[in-house]
Amino acid sequence: MVLRPSRLAFTLGFAGLLISGCSAGGSSFEASQDDILGTWTNQKGAHLVIESGGTFRTEKITKAVSLHGGCDQALTTGKWLLLGDQTRVATTSAPKGSAISLMPSGNGGSDEQRGCSISASVQKDDDGMNLCLVEDPDQTCGDEQLLRKSSTG
């Protein structure tokens, strides 16, 4: 059976819809720097505080993302960058993006610490904006892992 271009496009689009419907958090969202700043938490007790000036701090981050040995300690503080949607390049003027890179601070950024960097996909669903922290861009989050902005932060 040969699929016509229009039927093929429909089939591929429908398959993409099915796949995207399987992950929590909704669809990708292009956020401003102001959207990102604040305290983000999840049901399991993870806390991520994204501060102006490009710094962040965390508590119980392994309640939101699986990390390899020592990275939970390395990622207690660090620097963050908002990444542009298409190019995945950090922007500095009027930054907007759908991903955040979290890089550990301390001792000049050893090779081991650089290996602890993680990404956060910025998404939006019916409950609002959320962050899905991942070591690998192909990973997804379940509802219990998603970080949502705290009303107090």
The verdict on residue 9 lying in a domain is no
Task: Write out pLDDT tens, residues 9-30.
Answer: 444 444 443 334 446 888 999 9
Work out how many domains the chain is built from and give that number. 1
The verdict on residue 18 lying in a domain is no
pTM given for the model: 0.75
Euclidean distance between CA atoms 16 and 22, whole angstroms: 10
Please give the C-alpha separations between residue 109 and each of 91, 104, 149, in angstroms, as whole numbers: 21, 7, 28
The verdict on residue 125 lying in a domain is yes
The verdict on residue 71 lying in a domain is yes
CATH number at residue 52: 2.40.128
pLDDT, averaged in runs of 10, over the chain (153 residues): 51 41 78 95 96 95 88 92 70 74 74 78 94 81 89 62
The verdict on residue 97 lying in a domain is yes
Give the domain extent around 120: 24-149
The verdict on residue 4 lying in a domain is no
**Token pair for 15:** 């398959």
